[in-house]
Amino acid sequence: MSALDAIRCIETFVISLPREVPYLGPLRPGESINARGYLVRLGNKTIYPSTDMSVLVKITGESGLVGWGETYGVAAPEAVTSIIDDLLAPVLLGRDPATPRVLHEDLYDLMRVRGFFGGYYVDALAGVDIAIWDLLGQLLNVPLSTLLGGRRREALPAYVSGLPRATLRERCDLAMEWVARGFRAIKFAAVVSDDGVVQEMAALREAVGPDIQIMADLHWKFSAPDAIRLIRRLSEYDLAFAEAPCQPEDLEGQVMVARAGLAPVALGEELRTVFEYRPRFEARAMGVIQPEMGHTGVTEFMQICDMARTFHIPVMPHASISCGIFMAASLQAASTLQTMPFHEYQHSIFDKSLALVTGTMACADGFYTMPQGPGLGVKPSDALLAHVRSQTRCA
Ligand code: MG
């Protein structure tokens, strides 16, 4: 069979977008932004950028058509671009973009015996993978969802993620604003529940009433026994799911919390491949999975969702810091899934991204509307590319 096209050029871009309020809300006492622009959240000991950082990947075929990808770039993004520029790009030159799964497997194989089957390496694969799928969509002039088996829905239910306000009263007011705007589910972040997680849940339930789903992101903060005690109290206020109760590598703890049966455990934003998901499925460590397109890319995302289906576990895709490119990929993929109760909606990031991409995706009245057109349906705009911190060019 002759090739549809051949990859001619791969370029990477590190994006840094200013934001007024840091991710997860204003700085708390003892928190400050360092010389490189990062801050450590004392609530979960995790480093975050003070700007929205991301990595874009641009793949051009001999046809002249272009595919765009994006991966997670929130910390040390040049580690990812270096992997792509130095390691992946030379291997991809000349390959047929009509074989995205083959290319993904071949790139994964390059470093697996050295133990690079997660972290920054797989993030780099994710960005490349999304760009290849987008290029294939451009070549065939069909949306990514068509390449993945077909779109089930044009509107995807969205849950509001995060209430980035300084006080609990203000967070309750913000929750009520979202409900008034037609959203039916809201997730709060325990890492910034300064008055206590139970108090936060109780106040939010009082504010939004009994019919709105409330989820809690526990941000990997608790030992399993402490998480169980906490979730027991949260469940008195009808908790829809408890996200990331224990530290990411504490599989046994996650299983203990899940087996307590108080609320579904939601997991997966930090996992990248079926190999990382499989033991958690088999151990029944979670009742909801949250694959993050910025970490998985399209190929792994779909394989993870196929695996979830065999365990009868619903998918609620995660939505991290994105310029809109991998979010579009996530919406495209999510639109094909049979059991997808909600897609996360990080309003403080997604709404800003709409001005940074061309295309028509949106989130309003409780639903995402799908981008239209071939591939991802969106492309970076000039406004986005004005925020490039570093980039490589075609050789
Ligand atoms: Mg989370």
Does 167 share its domain with 311? yes
> What are the residues whose beta carbon lies below 5 Å from ligand 1 (ion)?
217
Tokens at 142, concatenated: 């069909």
Does 30 share its domain with 172? no
Quote the ligand 1 centre to 348 CA distance (angstroms).
15
Quote the ligand 1 centre to 215 CA distance (angstroms).
11
Q: Mean per-residue pLDDT for 44-49?
A: 90
Does 285 share its domain with 247? yes
Q: What is the pLDDT of residues 129-174, one digit of tens each?
A: 999 999 999 999 999 999 999 999 999 999 999 998 989 999 999 9
Confidence of residue 395 (pLDDT cuts 50, 70, 90): low
Q: What is the reported pLDDT for 19?
A: 86
Quote the ligand 1 centre to 6 CA distance (angstroms).
38
Q: Which amino acid is at 373?
A: G
Q: What is the pLDDT of residues 101-122, one digit of tens each?
A: 999 999 999 999 999 999 999 9
Does 232 share its domain with 123? no
Q: What is the reported pLDDT for 114?
A: 96
- 1 within a domain of the structure (yes/no): no
Residue with tokens 């083959």: 102
Confidence of residue 204 (pLDDT cuts 50, 70, 90): very high
Residue from 79, 128, 78, 137 nearest 106 by CA = 128
Mean pLDDT of the chain: 96
Nearby residues of 288 by Cβ (< 8 Å), 6 or more positions away? 241, 264, 265, 266, 267, 313, 314, 315, 316
- The edge-to-edge listing of strands for the beta sheet with 388-391 is 66-72, 52-61, 7-17, 388-391
Count of structural domains within the chain: 2
Quote the ligand 1 centre to 110 CA distance (angstroms).
30
Counting runs of H as helices and runs of E as strands, what totals does the chain give? 14, 17
Quote the ligand 1 centre to 320 CA distance (angstroms).
9
Quote the ligand 1 centre to 189 CA distance (angstroms).
8
The boundaries of the domain holding residue 36 are 7-144+383-392
Report the share of the chain in percent with pLDDT over 90: 90
Does 258 share its domain with 292? yes
Does 209 share its domain with 130? no
Nearby residues of 57 by Cβ (< 8 Å), 6 or more positions away? 10, 11, 12, 13, 68, 69, 70, 71, 84, 127, 128, 130, 131
Quote the ligand 1 centre to 193 CA distance (angstroms).
14
Does 88 share its domain with 165? no
Does 280 share its domain with 325? yes
- 188 within a domain of the structure (yes/no): yes
Quote the ligand 1 centre to 197 CA distance (angstroms).
15
State the CATH number of the domain containing residue 23.
Answer: 3.30.390.10
Does 104 share its domain with 116? yes
* Bridge partners for 184 per DSSP: none
| Local structure of residue 374 (DSSP, 8 states) | S
- 358 within a domain of the structure (yes/no): yes
Q: What is the pLDDT of residues 289-344, one digit of tens each?
A: 999 999 999 999 999 999 999 999 999 999 988 999 999 999 999 999 999 999 99
pLDDT of residue 1 exceeding 70, the answer is no
Q: What is the reported pLDDT for 2?
A: 80
State the CATH number of the domain containing residue 360.
Answer: 3.20.20.120
Q: Which amino acid is at 322?
A: S
Does 303 share its domain with 215? yes
